[in-house]
A and B are shown apart, each in its own frame.
Chain A
Amino acid sequence: MILRLADTVYRGRTVTVDGNVEPVAVARAVREVPVDESRVTVRAQTPAPVHERVGCLHPQMGLQTRTALAEAGRARGLSTRFDAAIRELRQALRELSAPTVEADDQRRAVAEASAETARLRERVATTRGRLAAHRELDGDTDELEARLESAASDLSEAETSAVAAEQTLARTREKARAARAVLDRRMRLEDDLANRQRQARARLVDRLTDAFASAVAAAPGGPDSRPADPFAVDAVTAGLAVARIADFDAPVVLACDRFPDADAASAWLGAPVVRLR
């Protein structure tokens, strides 16, 4: 690997870095394509997905051990009888669109049109009432009649727009219904996929539990003998064991005091190592 940190370049299968750098930043640099302004860059083999989980081992880390172990199994090329179904479901999901239908504007238009109609209806009623009162008093009604006519015409126009807005919203609702039928199918496929993935994971973990328990027992700084529950150990020990089981050639970043030097760590893990001091 070639690791650049600020102005210093480190080369080799194992490197020990003294500089002040975040362990996770180095692990990220292992996984990501370097960009010019990165403070730390690493050129090395492309890591397997399990690197996301055990590519950086430090005392503050958390680890979903079973998931990581299953991914280590994948990095070893293990397969399960659920894999074909998983591939098919993924393919089906790729081919199924995720339609969206926006109805916000239409709902707002309906609400506004209905408020406007109510307002104008009220105005027509008030004007009509005043007109009736004026007639009884034999007053001049010309102006009120004109006002009533204008209000009634406004109302009729508003009612027409309200009906049109309702129809537009109803059409959008129909579209949303069709879109949700597709989303419904997607969700079933996704649920199915998640179930298969869970089954595959459980199968891989089953197959690797024994090897994992041995690795845990052999890990420096771990339990002295094979623990009854190998999944109940601290995250660094579990991470070391998973990384040892996984087969990948991307550097593991170590910010923990488990090995005397980077070479010893690399020999134990079977992977290149960046040791941070």
Chain B
Amino acid sequence: MLLVITYSRAARQTLRNVCRAHDDCVVGQFGRVALLEATEFGAFQALRLREKHGTGVQVEWTQPFNEYERVREGVREAAVAYEARDEPATPYERFAAGRDLPAPDRMRGEEL
């Protein structure tokens, strides 16, 4: 899909107008952000916005996220374990320290 983020009032207004007029190519709209269908028409709308507002419009190409493809097992397990913790107030760093879970700093340094 195409992720369109706006960075000015004018660009945000144009995005809203586009979404209202062409909701058939809009997957979702969240304030100043919209997801457009990955079709030529979706691209046409995104490019039109960028043409009009320049740097005030960011367009990104998004893909569905499959963690089994992209993320190693240890990180996936850490997420599951942390969400099952008994003490809701425990920060992840402390939670991971006593267990065989990846430290936050290590994860920060690893690109997907």
Contact = CB atoms under 8 A, between A and B. Distances in A.
Contacts of A98: 8
A187 interface: yes
A190 B7 CA distance: 11
B8 A186 contact: yes
B29 interface: no
B58 A100 contact: no
B13 to A, nearest CB: 11
B62 to A, nearest CB: 16
Nearest to A175: B55
Interface residues of A, number: 15
A191 B9 contact: yes
Interface string B11-54: 01000000000000000000010000000000000000000001
B9 A187 contact: yes
B9 A180 contact: no
B101 to A, nearest CB: 31
Contacts of A186: 8
B54 A183 contact: no
Interface residues of B, number: 9
B16 to A, nearest CB: 14
Given A187-B7, A194-B9, A180 B54 contact: no
A102 B56 CA distance: 11
A184 B7 contact: yes
Nearest to B55: A100
B59 to A, nearest CB: 10
Interface in A161-194: 176, 179-180, 183-184, 186-187, 190-191, 194
A153 B23 CA distance: 50
Contacts, number: 28
Contacts of A179: 55
A183 B53 CA distance: 12
A186 B6 CA distance: 12
A264 interface: no
A176 B55 contact: yes
Nearest to A103: B55
A99 interface: yes
A228 to B, nearest CB: 34
B96 to A, nearest CB: 30
Contacts of B55: 99-102, 176, 179-180, 183
B58 A190 contact: no
A265 B8 CA distance: 44
A186 B32 CA distance: 14
B9 A176 contact: no
A176 B9 CA distance: 18
B8 A183 contact: yes
Residue among B9, B32, B55 facing the most chain A CB atoms (10 A cut-off): B55
Interface of A: 98-102, 176, 179-180, 183-184, 186-187, 190-191, 194
20 contacts: A98-B8, A99-B55, A100-B54, A101-B55, A102-B54, A102-B55, A176-B55, A176-B58, A180-B7, A180-B58, A183-B8, A183-B56, A186-B8, A187-B7, A187-B8, A187-B9, A187-B32, A190-B9, A191-B9, A194-B9
| In the A-B complex, the 3 residue pairs with the closest CB atoms | A183-B7, A100-B55, A180-B7
